[in-house]
Amino acid sequence: MGIIAGFLQHVPGVLAFYIPALFGTVLLRERGEGYRLKAGLWFVLGFGSIIAVHIMLRSVSVEQVAALVGVSLLQMAVALALARLTVYRLAD
């Protein structure tokens, strides 16, 4: 039961990261150099702003910031996987 509760605690973070991941993934599917730059901006600004807000609201020590960044990286990976799956399913 504790594992399920721990997993459900991180779902809102994954959903927050899903929006910039989805926009960036859609832009990566387009052809052209300008689209890659736009996708990179979506990833950097979207993920960076979400992590910055998390750090401002929850951090007290260096250990907490490191743990928050580590959890955020895992949430980003899940969000990117979901976005890729969504984009490729919709495109086919």
pLDDT digits (tens, 9 = 90+) for 43-57: 999 888 888 888 888
CA–CA dist 39, 45 (Å, integer): 10
Domain count for the chain: 1
Average pLDDT, the chain: 82
pLDDT digits (tens, 9 = 90+) for 4-24: 666 656 677 778 888 888 888
Q: How far is CA 32 from CA 5, 27, 89, in A?
A: 43, 10, 22
Can you give the residue range of the structural domain that contains 12?
Answer: 2-91
Instruction: Please state the pTM of the whole predicted model.
Output: 0.78
